Amino acid sequence: MAETYENALGRTAAIPVVAPDSEAESAALARFQEFLSAMSADGIRADIREVYAQNVFFNDTLKTVAGVDALEEYLLETVQRTSFVRVRFDDVVRSGRDYYLRWFMEYQSDRINGGAVVSSIGMSQIRFDESGKVVLHQDY
């Protein structure tokens, strides 16, 4: 059974985090945004372990996965079903150990919306560990 959001919040509440207002924090946010901005199978395979921690909790409201290997598999399945996925980040706010990133996403799939481009808006809550890797990613 996948870890729940509440359990992930508790598990990640006490871990050391990347230093706020540091170069490491800026770099971690940039890696995260770049990774999701134009997802591709090659990009996922090459970079996922630089962005996400081994024990990451991930929920995009469609699926919950635990661990970077499961996340890699899920994201590869996702991009294989689409012609493209693009995410534009419009705003980032930090509150304690949490970061909230407001985004606009476009994707295209022959299986959805008659093949027309689909647009969506949302927000991701993420938490970094002290190395700047994402340990919690919850989409809204």
Look up residue 138 and give its two tokens. Answer: 């919850």
Q: pTM of this prediction?
A: 0.94
Q: What is the mean pLDDT of the chain?
A: 95
Q: How confident is the model at residue 2 (pLDDT cuts 50, 70, 90)?
A: low
pLDDT score, position 11 = 96
How do 98-108 and 134-139 pair as beta strands? unpaired
Report the b/e string of 101-138 with b at 16+ CB within 10 A: bebebebebeeeeeeeeeeeeeebbbbbbeebbbbbbb
Tokens 């990009």, residue located: 43
Give the mean model confidence (pLDDT) for residues 81-109: 95
pLDDT score, position 112 = 86
- In this predicted model, what pLDDT tens digit does every residue of 106-126 receive, in sequence order? 999 888 888 899 999 999 999
Run of H or E residues at 26: helix 23-37
Say which amino acid occupies 28.
Answer: A
**1 vs 91, which has greater pLDDT?**
91
